[in-house]
Structure 1
Amino acid sequence: MKKRKILFLGETYRADAQTWIKGLEEFGNFDIISWELKTPSNGLYNRVIRLFEFAFSIFTIKKIIQNQQPDMIIAERTTSYGFLAALSKLQPIAIAQQGHTDLWPENSLLYPLKKAIQRHAFKKATLIHAWGSSMAASMSKVPVDPAKIMILAKGINLKLFNNSTSSNPTDQIFAIVTRSLLPEYRHDIILKAFAILDQKGIPFQLTFVGHGTEYDALKTLAQNLNIASKVRFTGRIPYQGLPPLLQASNYYISMPITEGVSASLFEAMATNCYPIITNIPGNSSWITDRKNGQLITVDDFKSLADELIWAHENPEFRNTAINYNHKLVTENADYSRNMRIIADTYHKLINNKTQI
């Protein structure tokens, strides 16, 4: 396979981006050049500066293309880096929608502008990644050529995320949350639900992995709910440190208000954690309520508490679901298989361009 060069536009610190890049390097014989906005997005001042940086970044990108001569450009988020990839005029272009929809939040004053930007990115793209079927469904509401859409998850490393036992400990709730501590993940709902379990005398240990803007507020909430002794906040950990924490847990909890395709969910399923997550399209495309997990209405901590109690009282059901999920992930979210398919597709796109 001939070595090729790809320009990646996106935030390289993100685990999803790292999976994408490393997979292309490992299975596609690609050299990856990356570029991303330098200004953080927190705070009004930074957002204004970032907007100016975004507006003039196309000139930087075109200079990189001129100097590095990449064979292809790929980008995450159709309304930001994907739009810049479209403006670059380099072909072929592969862009990825990151969430159920990149047009978020829907009540934003910038919604009409984002919609126009996304349409331009879709029009110019050679290939559009939908990491799951729910993302493809949202794209169908926009004028986009369905032939351009590739529905395939990047997947996870099943050698790293695995569990040799058929199930994790079941006599006590050992719950884990691996989403960033950001408002949209509604970790406060999780804490309120576990406070109800504590009042009912149900033993548990709850672990939050990662960091984010809600870190201090969540620690304070745990103290105010009198469950701080049963809640652990690990902060940021090395990626290699995540599998042992999942393997030591038996429940995976995630309460986001929006979701595309969650690698965190795949990682939990692969390590035999029973998933209890919000009932939104990105989740319900993988989990069927009371078949291989449980789906909770957004922001309903009482329902979460009730469903946790039900799951705790039905260990045989949980074990059946865990075994089903392990098979589901193995067959559909194997990183080594899926990234080979994606890399091969990129080579075909590049070869088609060079033959024209």
Structure 2
Amino acid sequence: MKTDAPVLVIGSASVHVARFVRGLCAAGQSVVASTHGELAVDPHPALLATTTIDLGVRNWRAPKQIRELMRKWTPRIVHAHQANSVGWHAGRAVRGSGVPLVLTLWGSDVLLTPAISPLHRWMIKQALRSATAWTADSRIVLEAADALLGSRTAAARRVWIPLGIDDSGVASQPEKRILSCRLHKPLYRIDAVIRAFARLTKTHADWTLEVAASGTESEALKRLAAELDVIERIEFSGMLSPHALALSYRRAAVYMSVPVSDGTSVSLLEAMAAGCVPVLSDLPANREWVVDGLNGFLVSDLDRLDQAMQQAIGLWESGQWAATGGAWNPQLIRRKATFTRNIEQFLALYAQLRAG
């Protein structure tokens, strides 16, 4: 698909926004990207320009700066990532322009940020009301946005579109390995994974836990592993390149992710595509992909996390997993959550909004 009018993408300078921009460009959609910081994207014929704007809540000039970009590039769509100050600024910028605003919700923006202060709650509600369409990678996030607005709901179209995975098609060769690859922040409770693994090693001493990624708690997590006497059984592999992370998924038999709150995480989709047994916190977004005991395990009490890990290991070691969830999950992801397919859904949404 090739279009002349660009999409103006507004967001943080995160890897997720960069990946989204690359996906649109690869599909033939021209893009102008304006981000809070420099976006790490390689040149592409469809990437017309990249600019930086202070999208913090204190920059009262941000809507004017976005409008200047709109006048210069006449975008077919403005697409803002996150219903925080980014969406708030974008909403004020498009007002009266006739250009549709797509607002992609990331989860924490409507699940957690409104509780920070009345100002944050008001700002997010304003962003939601200004959008022509909301998208999210889990239905629970769309429902939370509706609940946030209450009786004064918005007329925006609600569309569930996962930000899926790049399907490598490479076969997995799982070993007796458990993988955790969420960031080392309190939200993700990596300490609970390490504590559960320490209890597990009493009966499964031949298993290894790989703790990938990094964050503010990295050093504390290493100290915890040493205190629990499992430092020799844990590989702290740090922030991995996409290629190295894909290899870690293919080597792992079990995947662990137990955050306090989450939307649909790309890491879960990648783990399911690789055939790992997912052991997850029991969150609404996870229930959209996993049925407890059928194609993974959902845990509400972290004191019982080691028991869920034992169930996952038992299912994998028995060979039953390969014929059930290990076969079903990759098919599910290929059908619903490959990145190319999801970009096509965004392009279809843009066309629908432009057609009125």
The reply to whether TM is greater than 0.5 is yes
Q: Please give the range of the TM-score, normalised by the shorter of the 2 chains.
A: 0.7 to 0.9
Cross-structure match for 2:326 = 322
* Partners of 1:133 and 1:59 in 2: CA distance: 33
Asked if 1:123 is matched to 2:129, the reply is yes
Match of 1:136 among 131, 142, 151: 142
Match of 2:171 among 150, 161, 164: 164
Q: What does residue range 155-234 of structure 1 map to in structure 2 within 5 Å?
A: 155-158=164-167, 160=168, 162-165=169-172, 168-169=174-175, 172=176, 174-234=177-237
Task: Tell me the secondary structure at the aligned position of residue 12 of structure 2.
Answer: coil
Cross-structure match for 1:342 = 346
- Structure 1 segments unaligned to the other structure (5+ residues): 39-48
Asked if structure 1 preserves the Cα contact closer than 8 Å seen for 2:6 and 2:31, the reply is yes
Cross-structure match for 1:19 = 19
Query: Taking every aligned residue pair, what percent have the same amino acid on both sides?
Result: 23
Cross-structure match for 2:101 = 93
* Partners of 1:35 and 1:50 in 2: CA distance: 8
Asked if structure 2 preserves the Cα contact closer than 8 Å seen for 1:129 and 1:150, the reply is yes
TM-score by length of 1: 0.85
In structure 2, do the counterparts of structure 1 residues 233 and 54 end up closer, same or farther at CA, with 3 Å as the change threshold? Answer: farther
Residue deviations 1:114-136 (CA, integer Å, cap 9, x gap): 33222222222111102122222
Question: 1:106 offset after TM fit, Å?
Answer: 5.9
Asked if structure 1 preserves the Cα contact closer than 8 Å seen for 2:84 and 2:109, the reply is no
Question: 1:274 offset after TM fit, Å?
Answer: 0.9
Amino acid at match of 2:337: A
* Partners of 1:149 and 1:54 in 2: CA distance: 29
Question: 1:56 offset after TM fit, Å?
Answer: 4.2
* Partners of 1:52 and 1:270 in 2: CA distance: 38
Asked if 1:271 is matched to 2:274, the reply is yes
- Structure 2 segments unaligned to the other structure (5+ residues): 39-53
Amino acid at match of 1:75: A
In structure 2, do the counterparts of structure 1 residues 54 and 215 end up closer, same or farther at CA, with 3 Å as the change threshold? Answer: farther
Cross-structure match for 1:289 = 292
In structure 2, do the counterparts of structure 1 residues 53 and 282 end up closer, same or farther at CA, with 3 Å as the change threshold? Answer: same
Asked if structure 2 preserves the Cα contact closer than 8 Å seen for 1:74 and 1:94, the reply is yes
Amino acid at match of 2:268: L
Asked if structure 2 preserves the Cα contact closer than 8 Å seen for 1:140 and 1:146, the reply is no
Asked if structure 1 preserves the Cα contact closer than 8 Å seen for 2:174 and 2:252, the reply is yes
Question: 1:51 offset after TM fit, Å?
Answer: 5.2
Asked if structure 2 preserves the Cα contact closer than 8 Å seen for 1:86 and 1:121, the reply is yes
Amino acid at match of 2:171: S
Cross-structure match for 2:44 = none
Question: 1:293 offset after TM fit, Å?
Answer: 0.3
Asked if structure 2 preserves the Cα contact closer than 8 Å seen for 1:19 and 1:154, the reply is no
Question: 1:12 offset after TM fit, Å?
Answer: 2.6
Question: 1:104 offset after TM fit, Å?
Answer: 1.1
* Partners of 1:51 and 1:151 in 2: CA distance: 27
Task: Tell me the secondary structure at the aligned position of residue 34 of structure 1.
Answer: strand
In structure 2, do the counterparts of structure 1 residues 3 and 208 end up closer, same or farther at CA, with 3 Å as the change threshold? Answer: farther
In structure 2, do the counterparts of structure 1 residues 31 and 215 end up closer, same or farther at CA, with 3 Å as the change threshold? Answer: same
* Partners of 2:174 and 2:140 in 1: CA distance: 30
Asked if structure 2 preserves the Cα contact closer than 8 Å seen for 1:163 and 1:272, the reply is no
* Partners of 2:19 and 2:102 in 1: CA distance: 16
